[in-house]
Amino acid sequence: MKLKYYGTGAGAGIPEICCSCRVCEHARRYGGPNIRTRSQATLDEIMIDCPVDAYAHSVYCGLDIRRHRHILITHAHADHFSMTGGFASRFQDDGGGWTFYMPPISAAEESERIAKMAENNTKFPPQRYPRIVPVAPFTPFWIGTHRITPLPSNHAASIGTMLYLIEQENKALLWVHDSGYLLPETIHYLREHPVHLNAVSLDCTLGRGQRITASHMDIDQCADTACLLRQIGCADEATVFLLSHMGHLVEKTHDELRAQAQEFGFWVAYDGMELNI
């Protein structure tokens, strides 16, 4: 499986547009991996999240959304899901449209919104709309040769949020964006349905020791999560743990965070990073 990060930032990215903190100023001056757009990645033909930065990723970063017709949505915050641009437009379709897989609450709301748009679709050629599919926790489904299992996330319960376990043959990726510590029911599922994780992408939104919210993690909580996954038999020394979803609250430049992450054997993801799992 080939994983590519297009956005590794938290809600406002780095630099935040109105911020003059040390981390944001460093990003403006030096660019490169210090620039973090909003969270988005691809895994083979699957896309994970479709944020407000999806258009910029397609224009400037080489993301060809036409190749990624199946889109897993973790939750309906704008830095992870934004139905803007060409998905509801008069595009020339050459491949059968797109499918968004979403937590049930958000799927119902988006389906209702699209239905209302379709009622007034008098444009010519007519506008086209993606298909919305609600996903159920602990209920696997298939996208081609990939087996997808949604798992409840410790984040924004009012709208429903999901983690995704993605497997293909003997390979597996666990996508942990956005989330605080794994929920007990998610831990129970992983313990009762053992899988060897080749890679885990972890939410590392907060500065070390901040703990200002239970719905995100800092690097120590990421380390606790990695330890837990090893204890229940899902991970071992060969598992690659990656930190992503960083905002300026981490209070570290890319190089500073990378140095800190080496203490735990973690990799720090950056926009444009590719990894063969």
**99-113 per-position pLDDT tens digit:** 999 999 999 999 998
Q: Which two tokens stand for residue 258?
A: 């990378």
Residue 58 lies in a domain: yes
CATH at 190:
3.60.15.10
**What is the number of structural domains in the chain?**
1
Which range, of 37-46, 96-105, 238-247, averages the lowest pLDDT? 96-105
Which range, of 35-39, 63-67, 69-73, 117-121, averages the lowest pLDDT? 117-121
Closest CA to 276 of 199, 204, 200: 199
Peptide bond between residue 130 and the one before it cis (omega within 30 degrees of 0): no
Indicate the pTM of the whole model.
0.95
Residue 173 lies in a domain: yes
Q: How large is the average pLDDT for residues 205-225?
A: 96
Domain that holds residue 183: 2-270
Alpha-carbon Rg of the chain, whole angstroms? 18
Residue 10 lies in a domain: yes
| pLDDT above 70: residue 84 | no
Q: How large is the average pLDDT for residues 56-65?
A: 95
Residue 234 lies in a domain: yes
Measured CA to CA, the distance from residue 28 to residue 181 in angstroms comes to: 32
Residue 276 lies in a domain: no
Q: How large is the average pLDDT for residues 62-82?
A: 95
> What is residue 19's predicted lDDT score, i.e. its pLDDT?
98
Residue 156 lies in a domain: yes
User: What is the three-class DSSP state of 1?
Assistant: coil
Beta bridge partners of 172: 167
Residue 106 lies in a domain: yes
Residue 275 lies in a domain: no
